[in-house]
Amino acid sequence: MQNETIVTNIRQVGLSTKESALYLAALSLGEASLSEIAKEAGLKWTSAYNLVHSLLVRGFLIQVPSGKRGKYAAVNPRRLLQIAELHKNQIEEALPELTARYRGHAVKPRALLYEGVEGVRQAYKEIYAAIGQKELLWFSDIEAFTDPFPLILNEYVAIIRKSKNVHIRELVVDNAGGRKHAERFQGMRKAVEVRFLPKELSVKNLDEAVVGNRIYQFVLGEHLFVSIIENETITQTRKSIFDYLWTGAKKP
């Protein structure tokens, strides 16, 4: 692996290019003085001084007693994984508050469009990430995507089985695929309820999910695409329509 690539990878844990170069230099030298590390990294001593102190404070370097000035050494590279995981956990902890603030600025409806097989898969992954976190509402023609995307449906069921606090309601087309799908959840101790859409309501080649402030509409015909609308007013209206249909929908 080229040195530039390694530096780029190291930066993923929050280091600047120069800090990454210093860490890599210390890693190569073992125990070394500040001037030796700076020289190995191709930096001036004056530039390296504050950066090395920052690396010490954040746990990327350790100071080794040796003479008056001492020497420095890089921590085990596996420590980078621990630091990266710590950063990930901190972001996840703050994510609800960050998301709430982001939604607060989303006054205008936000529209996205994903196209093709990869776009469809990406959208389903986003929805599945909310399982156990938010209520999911579905309008679905299950048969429309059972054949082209069997793994997506299997993944959906697997995630439900291992998740807690699941709250999902599905209105599906009353056909062979829909009835088979409803049987998947019978006897499962999870809050997944399936009911059948009235036959007079045409929902063909469509899979729609309402989650949080987003509506995902999958059109699963010859041209695959997903339209995503993000707006609280529109979403609340769709939820009201869902609740109205749910009341009169036939149970399996």
pLDDT for residue 107? 54
**pLDDT of 96 above 90:** no
Task: Write down all domains in the chain, each with its CATH number in brackets.
Answer: 3-82 (1.10.10.10), 109-248 (3.30.870.10)
The whole-number average pLDDT for the span 210-227 is 85
pLDDT for residue 192? 84
In angstroms, how far is CA 16 from the centroid of its own chain? Answer: 25
* Contacts of residue 49, Cβ cutoff 8 Å, sequence gap at least 6: 34
Rounded Cα–Cα distance for residues 80 and 167 (Å): 37
Q: Can you name the residues that pair with 227 across neighbouring β-strands?
A: 113, 217
**pLDDT of 122 above 60:** yes
Q: pLDDT for 65-79, tens place per residue?
A: 766 667 888 887 777
SS3 36: helix
Q: pTM for this structure?
A: 0.56
**DSSP, res 222:** S
